[in-house]
Structure 1
Amino acid sequence: MRAGPAVQGLGVLALTLGVYAALFDDIAGVAVSGVIALFILFRAALFCRAVTDLVSSVVVERTAGKRIIRQGGRLPVRTLVTYDASFPLSVSAEDILPAVAILDGVQVAEERKSGHISIRYVLRPMAAGETSFGGVALFVRDPFFSGTVRVSRSDLCLPFLRVVPESIREQGYGRGIGEGLGEGGGQSLLAGEDIRGFHEYIPGEDLARIDWKLSAKFGSLYIREPEGLSGGAPLVIIDLPDLHDSPRAEDFARFSIAASGEAEGICTHFDACPLLLISGGEIVTYVRGSPEQKEFIAALAAIRPIERAGHLYRYLDPASVRARVRAPPAGGEGAFRGRLISLIPTFGGEKGPLPFRLAVAGAMRSSGAAAVVIYATGRGDCSHLSQVVMEALHQGLGVRLRVPAEEQGHVEREVGAGRTLQVEVI
């Protein structure tokens, strides 16, 4: 409860009269000061009682676009808050989102008639599982006081929502990506790829893959399936950040929720999925795919920043170095190019793959994966990610690299130099 300008003014007046009465022994001043103080207490009691009665009269009717929604998808919500308008209070309301959801835009509230507040907004659930709303927040005020009340009765938290992992896909959708029907995401066909077949459009797939001629012929949307995109479960690789270069706690929590939720969805869909946890130039954990997912879930629970024991600072593969040689900075081009070419044997890895890359290659071969999906924070040096991507491409596996939005450009420059690589936002 917060005091309004009227109470603040009365409080200053009462204090001033009290000080004056004490200094000059003015009984009338003491009486007036006391009356003002009692009036403030009386108004506070009236405000608290009115708010209590108001809360007990609140009824919420909430309508969600659907009860089962994909992780990260957009869910439009409309909430109607009704209350007894006979109380001498001015009321506004705000919906309390589920704990695992974020707001997409802003909540728009309007009072169409007295005692009826309509709220419209769109939310995005970021973690899979069962969830519900948190109730409503009421902002109440009268001429003297104001306050915020969170009402979380069970009847105000309906409906319950089921959030399915973003990675669940239809059988036969394809190989290479392994998991991919992200909401609004997807991958475009590369030049020269042949079409293996078609399937009906599923909400959330990339609209760039729609075959408009076939869709117009049959009156329904159909998606092109590229040749070679069919197979088994992908190898999920999660890069744990260095303890001394990790994102803020809240940023890493969002990354962890998204990465573990998608990885769990992949494992659930394929009944088994190999998982590789790395950090810099070392392998932390490798879990073979098996129908029993206990080890997989336990490994996901260990996603956290760690003290890195191995680094691959500025290790560049020959393709990356040649790409940088072809685009030297302005000024002194000849000297710079000659000097850079002389460093290629040092930074280009002509002595053979590093032990880290050899270990990753063994994990990829033993997993029998059809593709590789990499989740990384993308902070700092990305030499180890370059090694992972190089080996995956060497083995002919499709690669998806998913990083936070703020690191996308950095990772594209560091890892994607000299090769075709799609870096996506998680």
Structure 2
Amino acid sequence: MRPTLLTGFLLLFCLVCFVYAWMMNAGEAAAAGLGILVFLAVRAFIFQTELRGLAVSLSVTRDADKTILHQSSIVNIRSSITAVTKHLTASFEDVFPAGAVLTAGSPRFTEGRASYSLNLPVIGDSFFQGVRITCSDMFFMSTLLVGRDAEQPKLTMYPTGIAATHHAVGHGAGWSAQEYDRPALIAGFDTRTMRPYSEGDSIRDLDWKLSGKHQELYVRLRMDASGGLPALLIDLPQRGASEELCLHFAETVVGVLENLKTGEEYPVIFISGAMYLDTIRSGESDKIIAMLKEAGTIYAPEYLYRLRHPSVIRRSTERGHQLSDQERRIEGLIRLYAGRYPTDFERTVRNISASLENETHITYVTAAHGDLSHMTYLIHETHKNERHATVFVVGSAGTPREAEIRNAFTLAGADVVEMI
């Protein structure tokens, strides 16, 4: 609560009265100053009472044109409010979710209504913060945030490349078709198959859309982890990665964490290139955030940790050939790791794999820097141990390397490769 200009003048006059009473020993001046203080105290009480009544009477209704969004989608919001202001002068402003950017319109309410558009880049579930009220009378003013009905509507944002609807893979859709439920696919879990309905099947498993299309009942069979748990492996970008990429990477990781909630904690493993960093439980959000802040700052060892580059084999046999700096660096790596089996990284990967006894669905998030040998080895180990591997590659969508990365990870055994 803040005083208005009028209240400021009254307080100044009150101070003058007290000073005059002290200097001139005038009781009337002291009484006048005290009377002004009592009057302002009563007005402050009335203001607080009316303000509390205004907050209690506030009712908010929001209507969004869509609540399931792709990353950085534009969503149109229409809001309306009702409130009892009594003797207060009040203005209202809708407070949209944290991270959202206003693209059109205004969140300020005019005649109880507001219409505006938002760009929402935050992955996961987002909620409105409430309504900001700025109110005043002749003597006091105040601004407060009322969070009533802030949870409606809930906006759910999926990373770029992950659709929010079912997508059939292959030609048509029938009992042999396979589909991916994209909201669950980000968790690496929800690969399903479909077959015709048989007696005894639960009606909850019916796919009404497919059944209506084919005029025959179909059920969706969930092929889940069979009692297993997920695990998340995060390959942090190396030193020198752009701030934009690191932010995009962190947003993707947060989105995956949000969609991997199974009711139990699971391991979140951090590496950077061919260097193991730490294993953190999914519930330790502070530690995970702290580790994500290290993205782009870690000086990781060379990505090429065990594979001999074909160009070096060819060039090293040519007489009189002067090696380039890159070829010289690769030759140094070969000499460093020649004859070492397993390498430190391979030993670490095997230890990680052995520790994942109950985790059957492994989700990887990587920026796919370097020669990819560290990631292909990790995915190969996952595939060898009959675990489901989902890979999210951040920052490579639409680049010349997209096809190369997708092919490398698919050949290594990844079940799903998504370019974010």
TM-score range, shorter chain: 0.5 to 0.7
Match of 1:260 in 2: 257
Match of 2:91 in 1: 91
Match of 1:343 in 2: 332
CA distance in 2, matches of 1:112, 1:104: 20
In the TM superposition, what is the alpha-carbon distance from 1:146 to its structure 2 partner?
A: 1.6
Q: Which moved more, 1:12-21 or 1:68-77?
A: 68-77
2:81 partner SS: strand
- Structure 1: 5+ residue runs without aligned partners? 186-230, 242-246, 269-274, 286-297, 326-332, 410-415
Match of 1:6 in 2: 6
Map Cα deviations across residues 283-313 of structure 1 (whole Å, 9 max, x no partner): 977xxxxxxxxxxxx96435663899xx994
In the TM superposition, what is the alpha-carbon distance from 1:55 to its structure 2 partner?
A: 3.1
Asked if 1:374 corresponds to 2:364, the answer is yes
Amino acid at match of 1:108: S
**Which of 114, 138, 157 is equivalent to 1:118?**
114
CA distance in 2, matches of 1:335, 1:158: 59
1:105 partner SS: strand
With normalisation by structure 2, the TM-score equals 0.52
2:134 partner SS: strand
1:20 partner SS: helix
Correspondence 1:65-76 to 2 at 5 A: 65-66=65-66, 69=68, 75-76=75-76
Amino acid at match of 1:375: V
Asked if 1:305 corresponds to 2:301, the answer is no
In the TM superposition, what is the alpha-carbon distance from 1:32 to its structure 2 partner?
A: 3.0
Match of 1:62 in 2: 62
**Which of 392, 404, 422 is equivalent to 2:379?**
392
Match of 2:233 in 1: 238
CA distance in 1, matches of 2:12, 2:308: 73
Q: Does the aligned pair in 2 maintain the 1:360–1:388 contact within 8 Å?
A: no
Percent pairwise identity: 16
In the TM superposition, what is the alpha-carbon distance from 1:79 to its structure 2 partner?
A: 1.0
Structure-2 change in CA distance of 1:163 and 1:240 (3 Å):
same
Q: Does the aligned pair in 1 maintain the 2:68–2:155 contact within 8 Å?
A: yes
In the TM superposition, what is the alpha-carbon distance from 1:44 to its structure 2 partner?
A: 1.5
In the TM superposition, what is the alpha-carbon distance from 1:162 to its structure 2 partner?
A: 8.0
Map Cα deviations across residues 238-289 of structure 1 (whole Å, 9 max, x no partner): 2398xxxxx9xx999977642212335xx89xxxxxx87423445977xxxx
Q: Does the aligned pair in 1 maintain the 2:123–2:252 contact within 8 Å?
A: no
Asked if 1:278 corresponds to 2:260, the answer is no
CA distance in 2, matches of 1:317, 1:304: 32
What's the C-alpha RMSD, in Å, of the aligned pairs?
5.8
Q: Does the aligned pair in 2 maintain the 1:238–1:375 contact within 8 Å?
A: yes
CA distance in 1, matches of 2:156, 2:144: 28
Structure-2 change in CA distance of 1:402 and 1:21 (3 Å):
farther
Higher strand residue share: 2
Q: Does the aligned pair in 1 maintain the 2:234–2:365 contact within 8 Å?
A: yes
In the TM superposition, what is the alpha-carbon distance from 1:317 to its structure 2 partner?
A: 0.4
Q: Does the aligned pair in 2 maintain the 1:237–1:277 contact within 8 Å?
A: yes
Correspondence 1:143-154 to 2 at 5 A: 143-153=138-148
With normalisation by structure 1, the TM-score equals 0.52
Amino acid at match of 2:68: I
Structure-2 change in CA distance of 1:51 and 1:399 (3 Å):
closer
CA distance in 1, matches of 2:106, 2:287: 38
Map Cα deviations across residues 356-380 of structure 1 (whole Å, 9 max, x no partner): 335647949x99x99974236x8xx
Map Cα deviations across residues 331-381 of structure 1 (whole Å, 9 max, x no partner): xx98956864653335677745524335647949x99x99974236x8xxx
